[in-house]
Amino acid sequence: MSASSHDRPSYRKARTVADVTRENVRAMRGLENLAVARRTTADRIAEFVAQFCGSITFVWIHAGLFAAWVLWNVLPGLPRFDPYPFTFLTLCVSLEAIFLSAFILISQNYDMRVSERRSELDLQINLLAEQENTKMLQMLERIARKVGVEEDDELELRVLEQATRPETLARQIDDALRQQSGQPPARHARHKEEK
């Protein structure tokens, strides 16, 4: 078996929708595994800390530690190492909050990078699908002309056959949203793009 036939997605040979779904899930898992394999040590540590801190175990450990700390320092007969108002406890909790915030931000940055990668992949797939659909419409129009089929919606078909330009589409969406909120379209940006 050649490398090219081995690398070819097996969903091309799919017989049911379930086969296609299974292959899509397998492909997505492959991308996830690739993203996990590329994590740095800092990303791994931050993810572990963020997951642990987001668990009920973390809450119960802290509740127990804080209760023990306060009881030790308020009950009579025990040596007080941090009397009320528990200044040392406040310092410890503040330092912990600083470090936890940093770990959580590192974890969120990693998640954001993965999400951006997925969005870029999604955009590329959508653009490819749009280009394929445009080409199919053009081919169908040529076939219809060749066999003499009349087109009722020729103007609509012409619009759909035009290649979609992402920057033009983004500007049109922005203009539509601005008009919907009662603002005029951003004409200065359009003039800059046209120049």
Query: CA 107, 109, 34: angle at the middle one, nearest 5?
Result: 80
Query: For 75-104, what is the mean pLDDT?
Result: 90
What are the start-end ranges of the E strands in 7-66? none
Q: Where are the domains of the chain?
A: 1-38, 40-162, 165-195
- pLDDT at position 193 is 47
Which of the 8 DSSP states describes residue 195? -
pLDDT score at 185: 74
Query: 148: which DSSP letter?
Result: T
Range 146-149, long-range pairs (CB < 8 A, 24+ positions): none
**What's the rounded mean pLDDT across residues 125-136?**
84
Closest to 100 in 3D by CA, of 58, 50, 56: 50
Distance of CA 106 to the CA centre of its chain: 16
Check residues 159 and 109 and name the one with the higher pLDDT: 109
Residue pair 188/171 in contact (Cβ under 8 Å)? The answer is no
Give pLDDT, residue 114: 84
Q: In the predicted model, what is the mean pLDDT of the chain? A: 80
Q: Residue 71's pLDDT is what?
A: 92
pLDDT tens, residue by residue, 164-187: 677 777 777 788 878 888 888 776
pLDDT value at position 172? 77
Q: Is the pLDDT of residue 142 over 80?
A: yes
Q: What mean pLDDT is predicted for residues 39-48?
A: 85
Q: What's the rounded mean pLDDT across residues 2-8?
A: 47
Q: Is 2 helix (H, G, I), strand (E, B) or coil?
A: coil
**Helical axes 17-37 vs 87-147, angle rounded to 10°:** 140
Assess whether pLDDT exceeds 50 at residue 5. Answer: no
Q: Is the pLDDT assigned to residue 140 strictly greater than 80?
A: yes
Angle between helices 187-194 and 166-180 (to 10 degrees): 170
Averaged pLDDT, 29-38: 80
E-strand spans in 71-114? none
